[in-house]
Structure 1
Amino acid sequence: MMNKVTNNIILSVCLVVGLLACSPEVKESKTNEPAKEAEVKQEVTSEQTKAVVLLRGLPTLNTVSSVAIVELDPESDNFGEILSEFETPDINSNAPLHHLYYSPIGRLYATSLDPLCSLAEIGLVRDATGSPIIKGVDCLDTNGQQVGEDIMWHSVNGTQYMFVTFMGGTGVDQADGGSIGVFDPQSNAIIKIIEARKSQVGEGEPFIMYPHGISAYGDRMVVSSTVHPDLATGVGNNIVIIDLNTFTPIQNIVVEDAKPVGFPSSPVEVLFVRPDIVKDVEPAVLVNTMFGFETWKIPYDEANKTFGSPVKLYDGVEQGTGVPLEFYGNESELFISHALPGVVKRYHLSSLPELVTSGPDIAADPGAHHMIFYPTQSGKQVIAVQNNLLNLGNGADNDPTDVDFIAKVNAHTISVHDLATSERLATIDFKARYKKGIDNVEGLFGSGFTHHH
């Protein structure tokens, strides 16, 4: 998997990691108005402080990948304790479950890097005593689509669908592969595969390649082009617009400026800013570029259904950050995670699609990635950040975390911070405590976030 091109990518990013490590410490952003705790404390249930996590077994430590429920209340005596765990030895240890998503009716799904189990439903239930447990993991039929990434539920002309991006498309051996699966959200049956390989469409025609991030508004869906699953064959630099009336791509938009690591920008997550997120907002698409270190805005003219020219809103090279990843939000703020040096930046939700700082940066750990929001038992509002980019590495080393580049962006921790001040309250080191990596975190039974992508 790791060949010369991959090594060049790793070397280039390592150089940037080194530059960031040697540069002055990233300063806290100036705030217009710091986030404030709610004046009225809501009653906190015990389940609100628990989370579902994807844990990665580490070969040299003789551990097995698993799905688990963990206590995340820093005020609890059993903070960091695994309350329920289901091991997944049958899923490729080098390509484990990767992302967690709840459907609108509360079913829990996971995408996976394993070509043979690229989409799964997780049995999150309550036992006879009412306690939450992980009952099992069922791999779903994707009709040959491989390497699942993001999931989105969206209604089109009155019918709801589950959309899933597959970076490997209908075969990881394809140099320009990638597809979007359209599923029945009730039966999980595949309805359609949206595929348009660059080598198989006409010159200048829109294509889908290495799809990852996904978001939608009305009858327009936007999908990012990130990187081939082998991290070697190719890197994308655009987003594709899908017409949901016909399930076909209609436009590619390049999102790229400087190349700080010498490779295409690799757009990763996208967020279609829309009225159900911000009332009366002027719709636009926000895009994080993983190798470009930037956040972009693409204006959207709803009346004409046209997209304007991309505008760069945030430059990580100038700000001393790299590898921006996720968009998350609560009722009042948007949060963007940056894997290097490991920081979450926060912005006023009401100011979108512009990025107006709403509070001090949250200093997490290298690999800052996914996050959830919840109250502690005392009612303090907190954010938990999963700090781990991706568990990949050289098979010859027999341990994904032993590769220098990967280790630099894999802290394998969850850090918990006070939302009012960004102060760190507690940290769980999963590698030290459980001899496992931490790939993802989501709130238990769908609690823990408001907006995701």
Structure 2
Amino acid sequence: MKNITVIGIWVLGLSVMLSTGCSNDKKTEVQKTAEKQTAEPASRNQEESQGIVLLRGLPTLGTQHSIAIVELDPESQKFGDILHEFVYEDFEHPLHHLYYSPNGRLYATGLDPACSLAEIGLHRDASGSPAIKGMQCLDTQGQQVGEDIMWHTVNGKQYMFVTFMGGTGVSQADGGSIGVFEPQTNAVVKVIEARRSEIPEGAPYIMYPHGISAYGDRMVVSSTIHPDLATGVGNALTIIDLNNFTPIQNITIEDAKPVGFPSSPVEVLFVRPEISKLAKPSVLVNTMFGFETWQVPYNEADKSFGNPVKVYDGVSSGTGVPLEFYGTETELFISHALPGVVKRYKLDSLPELVSSGPDIQAEAGAHHMIFYPTQSGRKVIAVQNNLLNLGNAADGDPTDVDFIAKVNDHSITVSDLMTGERLAAVNFKQRYKKGVENVEALFGSGFVHHH
């Protein structure tokens, strides 16, 4: 596959179709009820509404990559203000995703081969205010382009698992690996790799791994896209036996090809009892280029996976590029980059997707999200609206990839969690001449389930 940018023609058409085809539905009973309620001031930690944000410098606008603490309370006069910022200059490509370990340490995966995994020094300064004192790039034993991180216990021992879309070298056409790390020392325990060009024909492979989730001694990773966005696209899941860190099965997740490319499974969520005791164990999968959400049944008795079943069709529903799984104590949220919307479902009904409330209308590139209360106690959701945060040809930005630029709003939007009403928005490109790569809650207070 030599050029994937032709997807832009179809994506742009879908974007126009979706933006002109939306209608204003009548207010739901939930909205009516919420509008009658008066928000009472509530005691809270004011840091709950502050997000830690990865910002991407744009070369043509003269800005540099940074890690920032941003006020995201729409009721605050400081909404959208950067309260603290740590700038790093040594890498061409930025840090990509933020994750908190179970004991509160902050990590970031990175797009630059020279810093594909880092630990962030989030602490409090002498006045007690949150601050970032630095970042330490970690030894990955050559693994490049980090994506998702997961902490999971196997046979009584906890590990940190990281997917690397570039595997042990971005030059590899079929690369990809999962790094197994000792979570206290950050040392590599094992590199799980199975390139199709180096294993027997028909053997389980790992290629462009991105999403990762686990239950018991079974881990699932997705095969998404080569880091250069041109060499290849995946269409399968890989099942890994965590007793020996070995891939044991591939499951194809693909139906229609609305943009003419493989489905590109992106995020995966192993539905399991710790998420909801009433939910049936199974795997949910978003396909970035298939525009679909799939469910793969799981039989706990014999640890087998059933045939994939499509549970959401984006083409017929008017959405495209589904990305993330997030959740609160009662709901599951799925972001769709086109037209920029977050859909919500009842947690206890999983793996069936049963709507739990009005959609959250975000912007093009709806991606990561956090949940927190405002100063008055109003529950809100903040959505980061950028797919890959690349540039725009109109700016002469060398990072431009045309179709991706169509799903980048460079903003964070904040909406009422109950009604879906938009409360505020901050556009980082307009205000700070930077793109917004990722948002997480400060000190990990803003979400329950991630991916």
**Distance of 2:109 and 2:25 partners within structure 1:** 34
Residues 106, 121 of structure 2: 8 Å contact kept: yes
**Distance of 1:422 and 1:301 partners within structure 2:** 36
| Offset of residue 8 of structure 1 | 2.6
In the alignment, residue 350 of structure 2 is paired with which amino acid? L
The Cα offsets for residues 382-415 of structure 1, whole Å up to 9 and x where unpaired, read as: 0000001102359997526755433321101100
Partner of 1:341: 339
Partner of 1:355: 353
Residues 389, 409 of structure 1: 8 Å contact kept: yes
Report the secondary structure of 2:298's partner residue: strand
Between stretches 7-16 and 290-299, larger displacement belongs to 7-16
Cα 1:72–1:410 shift into 2, 3 Å:
same
Partner of 1:52: 52
Question: How do 1:68-217 residues align onto structure 2 when only pairs under 5 Å count?
Answer: 68-92=68-92, 95-217=93-215
Partner of 1:226: 224
Report the secondary structure of 2:225's partner residue: coil
Question: How do 1:259-274 residues align onto structure 2 when only pairs under 5 Å count?
Answer: 259-274=257-272
The Cα offsets for residues 160-210 of structure 1, whole Å up to 9 and x where unpaired, read as: 000000000000111100000000100000110000011111111110000
Residues 59, 398 of structure 1: 8 Å contact kept: no
Partner of 1:318: 316
Residues 70, 80 of structure 2: 8 Å contact kept: yes
Partner of 2:421: 423
Report the secondary structure of 1:44's partner residue: coil
Cα 1:427–1:393 shift into 2, 3 Å:
closer
Report the secondary structure of 1:48's partner residue: helix
Structure 2, unaligned runs of 5 or more:
none
Cα 1:396–1:20 shift into 2, 3 Å:
closer
**Distance of 1:19 and 1:59 partners within structure 2:** 32
Structure 1, unaligned runs of 5 or more:
none
Residues 345, 353 of structure 2: 8 Å contact kept: yes
Residues 29, 357 of structure 1: 8 Å contact kept: no
| Offset of residue 4 of structure 1 | 4.7
| Offset of residue 39 of structure 1 | 10
Partner of 1:247: 245
**Distance of 1:91 and 1:104 partners within structure 2:** 28
The Cα offsets for residues 29-73 of structure 1, whole Å up to 9 and x where unpaired, read as: 998978979999863111111110001111111011100000111
**Distance of 2:153 and 2:26 partners within structure 1:** 38
**Distance of 1:56 and 1:312 partners within structure 2:** 35
Cα 1:312–1:28 shift into 2, 3 Å:
farther
**Distance of 2:153 and 2:38 partners within structure 1:** 33
Report the secondary structure of 2:290's partner residue: coil
In the alignment, residue 22 of structure 2 is paired with which amino acid? E
In the alignment, residue 145 of structure 1 is paired with which amino acid? Q
Residues matched between the structures, number: 448
Report the secondary structure of 1:123's partner residue: strand
Residues 5, 401 of structure 2: 8 Å contact kept: no
Which of 293, 298, 301 is residue 300 of structure 1 equivalent to? 298
- Alignment partner of 1:385 is 2:383: yes
| Offset of residue 13 of structure 1 | 3.1
**Distance of 2:185 and 2:247 partners within structure 1:** 26
| Offset of residue 96 of structure 1 | 1.0
Cα 1:40–1:5 shift into 2, 3 Å:
same
Residues 344, 362 of structure 1: 8 Å contact kept: yes
Cα 1:40–1:292 shift into 2, 3 Å:
same
**Distance of 1:47 and 1:228 partners within structure 2:** 37
Cα 1:426–1:377 shift into 2, 3 Å:
same
Cα 1:12–1:400 shift into 2, 3 Å:
farther
In the alignment, residue 56 of structure 1 is paired with which amino acid? R
Partner of 2:15: 17
- Alignment partner of 1:65 is 2:65: yes
**Distance of 1:423 and 1:387 partners within structure 2:** 17
**Distance of 1:307 and 1:32 partners within structure 2:** 40
Between stretches 328-337 and 387-396, larger displacement belongs to 387-396
Residues 5, 402 of structure 2: 8 Å contact kept: no
Q: Percent identity?
A: 72
In the alignment, residue 247 of structure 2 is paired with which amino acid? P
The Cα offsets for residues 197-252 of structure 1, whole Å up to 9 and x where unpaired, read as: 11111111110000000000000000000000011111000000000001000000
Task: Name the Cα RMSD after superposition.
Answer: 2.3
Partner of 1:373: 371
Cα 1:60–1:254 shift into 2, 3 Å:
same
In the alignment, residue 89 of structure 2 is paired with which amino acid? P
Residues 26, 320 of structure 1: 8 Å contact kept: no
**Distance of 1:127 and 1:365 partners within structure 2:** 35
